[in-house]
């Protein structure tokens, strides 16, 4: 279906990444948001707090991130599309509810504007060090979707997309910015509402009594209903059967948790997004994401000037990870160079995928600034020599 | 000759989930009984009543009630309920929580839900212990009660929950025991028809852990104790409603007032400042509103 024009700020704007996320959420039809202030992400909810009353949305600032991260889950079951936003320490606090959203198959969107950690770390400076936390941070086995914009325009596009994916797969989706992308101002073009595709909720058409809120369709994803419609259904974070009733035994656990994982892994080809340039015939391919992909671009140009055949591969979906494509690349290149603003996270996933078929060269930076392009260039030249 | 009559409570329960996990004599079931009576007597559309609970023995209430129900994470029933209510203001949202869930891990949410006057009825079954995990000390366990983590007796000062609720801004505050089934059901019914953050504390026995560990006898003895020690004082100053170990239990309706709920206050502010430009939140529907 098409976007509700009320929330779509059609036109050409100069926006920072945080504000572009707010507009992406509005365009997606998000009308409920809960938040707790934390640098460098607060601008997202500040804009939402200003914009929502003009378009029929409600924002609530809660007492902490624990509250915000579950209030949005409540909002979703009430029938709204909902969002919360945070950074580092707040993201740590939200982990329990990311798992809860995965377990209850709640279509909800979290935005994490990454800053330097661990702990309070670098509140105002960039890092990309929550990548593995997004994937593994909540206890137990689960899968979610994580997207990595590298520009304000993409903050708009991918926040909208995050809502669509959340609805399609009934899964929490995390938009993983970094402080630089969150605070950089660039042109953002917001198309007219009729050009924006919005995924509606998978409302069941079964009547109460026949509907099983956790019985999957062929794509392994169940349909849903909302509170107040007469279904009188139950939702729990306990291991549950298709009715949603607690069933704490090994066979139910196997069936449920396996499906929560499979519904993302088996649909990965439909979920995955990446951007690839000049990988054909390349000796070296840079695998990067977020702000680092823009610094890497400069390194690629510098290497080209030196006559090295370099390609680039930009992760847009960090989770699920494009295992198949990276494995293919590993068969044709000498090395994959992975720059990131952490001391080894997505590079580990690359390394694991490549399984020794080519070299993986991480170019690691602890955060607080971005790489010097020369540091990435050096890694490229190391292979080319 | 004897016709089979269905127990009046049954239609409010998920009979396919019975028997419950609760121990014989546990007070939680009594409160659920009263709650179903309140549901019968109030004129609510039950399709629009949602029950939310956290974790623990009381946390299981949501799963047994034949209503829209959500069993959330430990301590977080209130913020979940706040989100649910704000996103779907048509619902009557009831939070069912135990003393540990509500006042320890969820304590911060409790005072803030009361302060902002979230439009929620919050029922707390206070049995002075964490039942599900084996009888540990909670913020309401009085000195010198024995709990598994205070084997030599509890010694920390306790929360006086009605006072905490009232001083944080709750618009309706009552306390009963599971001996006062009629009063409790009436209180629940009244509270269901009111607005704002409404709080009912129910003193209830946990025979398996709290009573046994403190050698206080069976649930039946406890009912006798509640009967003897309770004093009904409607309108009592909640400061005087603190509980101690085996002392007097002040019960009654302590607060019954009205002030704008979070949603009313928000709508008023937005209308005042934005006038015609303010677009109030519309109830979610299945139809795309395009
Ligand atoms: S442990 Fe205590 S609170 Fe829990 S069900 Fe048994 S009696 Fe009730």
CATH number of the domain bearing residue B188: 3.40.50.970
| Structure tokens given for A186 | 């660039």
| Structure tokens given for A297 | 């671009």
Range of the domain at A126: 5-195
CB nearest A77 (choices: B70, B90, B278):
B70
Choosing from A195, A216, A244, the residue where a domain stops is A195
Q: Are residues A298 and A158 in the same domain?
A: no
Structural domains of chain B, count: 1
Range of the domain at B252: 12-277
Residues in chain B within 8 Å Cβ distance of A203: 286
User: Is B63 in contact with A245 (Cβ distance < 8 A)?
Assistant: yes
B84 lies in a domain? yes
Choosing from A195, A212, A232, the residue where a domain stops is A195
The per-residue DSSP string of A112-161 comes to EEEEE-STT-EEEEE--TTHHHHHH-SSSS---EEE---SHHHHHHHHHH
What does the pLDDT look like over B85-136, one tens digit per residue? 999 999 999 999 999 999 999 999 999 999 999 999 999 999 999 999 999 9
CB nearest B87 (choices: A6, A56, A78):
A78
Q: How many CB atoms lie within 10 A of CB A75?
A: 32
Please tell me whether the peptide bond between B144 and the residue prior to it is cis, using omega within 30 degrees of 0.
Answer: yes
Q: Model's pTM, two decimal places?
A: 0.97
Crossing angle, helix B107-115 and helix A65-77, to 10 degrees? Answer: 70
ipTM of the complex: 0.96
B286 lies in a domain? no
Quickly state the pLDDT bin for B1 (edges 50, 70, 90): very low
- 8 Å CB contact between A154 and A187: no
- How close B195 gets to chain A, by Cα (Å)? 18
Q: Which residues line ligand 1 (CB under 6 A)?
A: B 22-23, 26, 28, 57, 127, 131, 206-209
Residues in chain B within 8 Å Cβ distance of A234: 14, 62-63, 69-71
Largest CA distance in chain B: 69
B130 lies in a domain? yes
User: Is A78 in contact with B281 (Cβ distance < 8 A)?
Assistant: no
pLDDT under 70: residue ranges of chain A: none
Quickly state the pLDDT bin for B290 (edges 50, 70, 90): very low
Sign (positive/negative) of CA torsion B251, B161, A59, A235? Answer: negative
Structural domains of chain A, count: 2
Sign (positive/negative) of CA torsion A180, A183, A188, A191? Answer: positive
A190 lies in a domain? yes
Selection from B65, B99, B95 nearest residue B83 by Cα: B95
Quickly state the pLDDT bin for B8 (edges 50, 70, 90): confident
Q: Are residues A174 and A295 in the same domain?
A: no
Residues in chain B within 8 Å Cβ distance of A66: 75-76, 79, 109
What DSSP character marks residue B209?
I
Where is A109: in which H helix or E strand? strand A109-116
User: Is B280 in contact with A66 (Cβ distance < 8 A)?
Assistant: no
Please tell me whether residue A24 adopts helix, strand or coil conformation. helix
Q: Are residues A36 and A181 in the same domain?
A: yes
A348 lies in a domain? yes
Q: How many CB atoms lie within 10 A of CB A249?
A: 10
The pLDDT, as a whole number, for residue B289 is 42
Give the whole-number percent of chain B exceeding pLDDT 90: 93
B26 lies in a domain? yes
In angstroms, what is the span from residue B26 Cα to ligand 1's centroid? 5
CB burial class (10 A; 0-12, 13-18, 19+) of residue A255? middle
User: Is B71 in contact with A236 (Cβ distance < 8 A)?
Assistant: yes
Quickly state the pLDDT bin for B5 (edges 50, 70, 90): confident
Q: Which residues of A332-357 are buried (b: 16+ CB within 10 A; e: fewer)?
A: ebebbbbbbbbeebbbebbbebbeee
CATH number of the domain bearing residue A175: 3.40.50.970
The pLDDT, as a whole number, for residue B288 is 55
Selection from B91, B97, B86, B102 nearest residue B50 by Cα: B91
B289 lies in a domain? no
In angstroms, what is the span from residue B55 Cα to ligand 1's centroid? 13
Which residues on adjacent β-strands are paired with residue A111?
A: A85, A175
What DSSP character marks residue B190?
H
Query: What is the pairing mode between strands B198-203 and B120-126?
Result: parallel
- How close A227 gets to chain B, by Cα (Å)? 6
Choosing from A136, A162, A195, the residue where a domain stops is A195
User: Is A56 in contact with B52 (Cβ distance < 8 A)?
Assistant: no
What does the pLDDT look like over B188-212, one tens digit per residue? 999 999 999 999 999 999 999 999 9
CB nearest A64 (choices: B71, B91, B108):
B108
Quickly tell me which residue has 């409404």 as its tokens: B198
Q: Are residues A118 and A9 in the same domain?
A: yes
What does the pLDDT look like over B32-52, one tens digit per residue? 999 999 999 998 999 999 999
CATH number of the domain bearing residue A291: 3.40.50.920
């Amino acid at each position: 279906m098409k976007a509700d024009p009320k929330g779509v700020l059609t036109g050409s704007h100069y926006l920072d990444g945080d504000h572009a996320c707010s507009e992406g959420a509005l365009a997606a039809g998000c009308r409920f948001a809960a938040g707790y202030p934390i640098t460098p992400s607060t601008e997202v909810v500040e804009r939402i707090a200003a914009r929502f009353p003009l378009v029929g949305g409600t924002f609530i600032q809660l007492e902490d991130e624990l509250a915000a991260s579950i209030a949005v889950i409540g909002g979703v079951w009430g029938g709204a599309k909902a969002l919360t936003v945070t950074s580092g320490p707040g993201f740590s606090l939200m982990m329990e509810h990311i798992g809860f959203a995965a377990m209850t198959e709640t279509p909800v969107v979290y935005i994490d504007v990454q800053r330097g950690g661990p702990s309070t770390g670098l509140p105002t400076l960039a890092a990309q060090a929550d990548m593995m936390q997004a994937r593994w941070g909540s206890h137990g086995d689960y899968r979610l979707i994580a997207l990595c914009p590298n520009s304000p325009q993409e903050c708009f596009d991918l926040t909208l997309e995050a809502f669509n994916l959340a609805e399609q797969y009934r899964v929490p989706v995390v938009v993983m910015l970094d402080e630089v992308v969150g605070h950089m101002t660039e042109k953002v073009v917001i198309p007219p509402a009729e050009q924006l595709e919005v995924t509606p909720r998978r409302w069941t058409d079964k009547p109460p009594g026949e509907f099983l809120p956790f019985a999957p369709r062929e794509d392994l994803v169940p349909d849903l209903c909302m509170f107040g419609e007469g279904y009188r259904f139950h939702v729990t974070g306990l291991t549950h059967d298709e009715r949603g009733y607690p069933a704490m035994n090994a066979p139910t656990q196997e069936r449920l948790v396996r499906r929560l994982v499979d519904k993302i892994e088996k649909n990965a080809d439909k979920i995955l997004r990446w951007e690839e340039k000049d990988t054909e015939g390349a000796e070296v391919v840079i695998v990067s994401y977020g702000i680092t992909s823009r610094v890497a671009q400069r390194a690629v140009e510098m290497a080209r000037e030196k006559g090295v055949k370099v390609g680039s591969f930009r992760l847009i979906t960090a989770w699920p990870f494009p295992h198949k494509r990276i494995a293919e690349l590993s068969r044709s290149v000498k090395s994959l160079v992975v720059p990131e603003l952490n001391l080894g996270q997505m590079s580990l996933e690359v390394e694991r995928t490549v399984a020794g078929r080519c070299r993986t060269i991480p170019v690691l930076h602890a955060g607080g600034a971005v790489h010097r392009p020369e540091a990435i260039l050096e890694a490229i030249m190391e292979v080319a020599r | 000759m004897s016709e089979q009559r269905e127990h009046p409570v049954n239609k409010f329960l998920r009979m396919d989930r019975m028997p419950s996990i609760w121990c014989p004599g546990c007070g939680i079931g009594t409160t659920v009984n009263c709650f179903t009576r309140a549901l019968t007597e109030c004129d609510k559309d039950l399709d629009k009543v949602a029950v939310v609970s956290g974790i623990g023995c009381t946390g299981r209430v949501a799963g047994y009630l034949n209503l829209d129900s959500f069993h959330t994470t430990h301590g977080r029933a209130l913020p979940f309920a706040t989100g649910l209510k704000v996103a779907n203001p048509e619902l009557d949202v009831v939070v069912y929580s135990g003393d540990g869930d509500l006042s320890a891990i969820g304590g911060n949410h409790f005072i803030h839900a009361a302060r902002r006057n979230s439009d929620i009825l919050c029922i707390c079954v206070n049995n002075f212990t964490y039942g599900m995990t084996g009888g540990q000390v909670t913020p309401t366990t009085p000195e010198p009660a024995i709990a598994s983590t205070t084997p030599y007796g509890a010694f920390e000062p306790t929360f006086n929950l009605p006072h905490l609720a009232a001083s944080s801004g709750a618009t309706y505050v009552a306390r009963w025991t599971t001996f006062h089934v009629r009063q409790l059901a009436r209180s629940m019914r009244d509270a269901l028809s009111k607005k704002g953050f409404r709080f009912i504390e129910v003193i209830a026995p946990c025979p398996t852990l709290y009573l046994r560990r403190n050698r206080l006898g069976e649930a039946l003895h406890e009912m006798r104790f509640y009967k003897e020690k309770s004093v009904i004082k409607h309108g009592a100053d909640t400061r005087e409603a603190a509980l101690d170990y085996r002392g007097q239990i002040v019960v009654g309706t302590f607060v019954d007032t009205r002030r704008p709920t979070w949603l009313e206050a928000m709508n008023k502010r937005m209308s005042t400042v934005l006038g015609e430009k303010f677009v109030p939140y519309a109830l979610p529907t299945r139809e795309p509103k395009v």
